Amino acid sequence: MLRLYTDSAVTFAKQVPGLGEIRLRPLDLENDMRTIHGWVIQPYAVYWGMQEFSLEQVKQAHKELLTRDQYEIYLGLLNGNTIFMMERYKASEDMIGQFYEVQPGDYGMHILVAPAQKRIPDFTWNVFSAVMDFMFSHPHTDRVVVEPDVRNEKIHVLNRRAGFQYQGNIKLPGKTASLAWCTRADYLAALENLK
């Protein structure tokens, strides 16, 4: 079950059977940065390129992102506990738009899941699919575009499970990335195949 919220504190929610409710709310630069900093400096978050960043540098980087046109950052919560961060942006307003023929309904996303406290089956998939549901809850989003580091095998598994179509590799500052996109139809077909 999906719900969209008009309350600025909660933007989106999805009830996941056996897990609970995943909610999204806008990032709070003043109060969320210690949490985010604690995640990005850990070895598993190497692809975020912030492992040597101070708390203030992480805050400044996110502050700069939020000054971009049509760039949004959200925190994801499960039953009230912070479990991930996601970024949503219009592809035509981002560097990625220089590497392929952008369509008007193309939106990019990045996702960072909190370090695991305990193993929960399909946890990252449930988070990932909640993010995809959120992306496609916007009527102007026709395609989700991603550019993960080619070495990030875990995200490639999730992308393919969600129906992303890989287009090839591109050279971005600091990484070689795999360009991939997923239409609404691709995603719905992927979900149907998982039943």
Q: Distance of alpha carbon 53 from its chain centroid, rounded?
A: 21
Domains annotated for the chain, with CATH where assigned, are 2-193 (3.40.630.30)
Name the pLDDT band for 10 (thresholds 50, 70, 90).
Answer: confident
Whose CA is closest to 147, among 126, 168, 133?
A: 168
Q: What local confidence, expressed as pLDDT, does residue 27 receive?
A: 95
Q: Rounded mean pLDDT of the chain?
A: 93
Confidence tier at 3 by pLDDT (50, 70, 90)? very low
Q: Which two tokens stand for residue 179?
A: 């360009």
C-alpha torsion sign, points 97, 99, 105, 107: negative
Q: pLDDT per residue over 46-66, tens digit each?
A: 999 999 999 999 999 999 999
DSSP for the chain reads -EEE--STT--EEEEETTTEEEEEEE--TTTSHHHHHHHHTSGGGGGGS-TT--HHHHHHHHHHHHTSTTEEEEEEEETTEEEEEEEEEEGGGSGGGGSS---TTEEEEEEEEPPPSS--TTHHHHHHHHHHHHHHHSTT--EEEE--BTT-HHHHHHHHHTT-EEEEEEEETTEEEEEEEEEHHHHHHHHHHT-
